[in-house]
A and B are shown apart, each in its own frame.
Chain A
C-alpha cells in the first residue's frame, strides 16, 4: 500500500519564477492538506482540499494556490517566488472524518535563489 507520494523531491528556482508541486494521497484517502516547513520550524498550514474544493486556508498570500483532481491527487502552485518561499513543502492526506490524523509525504524541498 503506497503512502503519500510527492514530486519532485528537490528543486531549485529563481526569484520571480513559478513552481508546481504534486501530491498523490494514500490509497483510500479523500482529503489533502499542504504545509510549509521552513528550516528549524514546525510545519505551517497552507490549505486543505476536499471534493476538489479549497475548504480551509491558512495565513498565506494568494500567490499560493492549489488544485485537487477527481482522483484525489493535488497540486500546489506558487507564483512570483520569493527567497522566503524556500522551504520543505509537505503534503498530507487523510479521510475527511478522521480529523487531524494526517499521513505525510516526505516533502518537496524548494530552494529559491
Chain B
C-alpha cells in the first residue's frame, strides 16, 4: 500500500526566507505526486503535480518541487516566503493515471514571521 510521510509537523520561517517542505513516499511503481495547500477556512488548492518527465516541476504562487526517485522524495520549495504563504501543506500520492484515490500525508503547518 502506498504511504506518504511529511516529517515536519510545524515549520516557522521569516518572511523573505527560503522554504523547503519535505515529503517522502512509499510506492512500488512510478507515483503520481501532488502538493496541495489548505488555508484556514478554505478547501485544499493544488499547487503542483508530477506525473512523468522533468523531475523539477513548477507550480502556482512561485512554488516548485523536485522528484528524486532514489530518495523517494518530492520536496516543495520556495525561494522567498510571503506572509500569505502561511497555511497547511499536504503532499499526496496517486497510484496510477485515472485514479482519484490520493493518499495524503498528515500535513506540515507553515507559520511566517513578519
A31 to chain B, nearest CB (A): 7
- The answer to whether B71 has its CB under 8 Å from any CB of chain A is no
Query: In the bound complex, do residue A45 and residue B100 qualify as a contact, i.e. CB atoms below 8 Å apart?
Result: yes
Complex CA–CA separation, A107 to B43 (angstroms): 7
B86 to chain A, nearest CB (A): 18
Residue in contact with A104 in the complex, picked from B45, B98, B101, B107, CB distance below 8 Å: B45
Query: In the bound complex, do residue B102 and residue A102 qualify as a contact, i.e. CB atoms below 8 Å apart?
Result: yes
Told that A90-B43, A104-B43, A106-B41 touch, could you supply 9 new A-B pairs with CB distance under 8 A?
Answer: A33-B100, A44-B104, A45-B100, A92-B44, A99-B51, A100-B49, A101-B49, A106-B42, A107-B43
Complex CA–CA separation, A42 to B89 (angstroms): 10
Residues in B with CB closer than 8 Å to A45 are 100-103
Nearest 8 pairs of A and B residues by beta carbon: A42-B104, A104-B43, A48-B100, A104-B44, A45-B101, A33-B100, A106-B43, A100-B94
**How many pairs of residues, A versus B, come closer than 8 Å at their CB atoms?**
68
Residue in contact with B100 in the complex, picked from A4, A99, A106, CB distance below 8 Å: A99
B94 to chain A, nearest CB (A): 5
Query: In the bound complex, do residue B90 and residue A43 qualify as a contact, i.e. CB atoms below 8 Å apart?
Result: yes
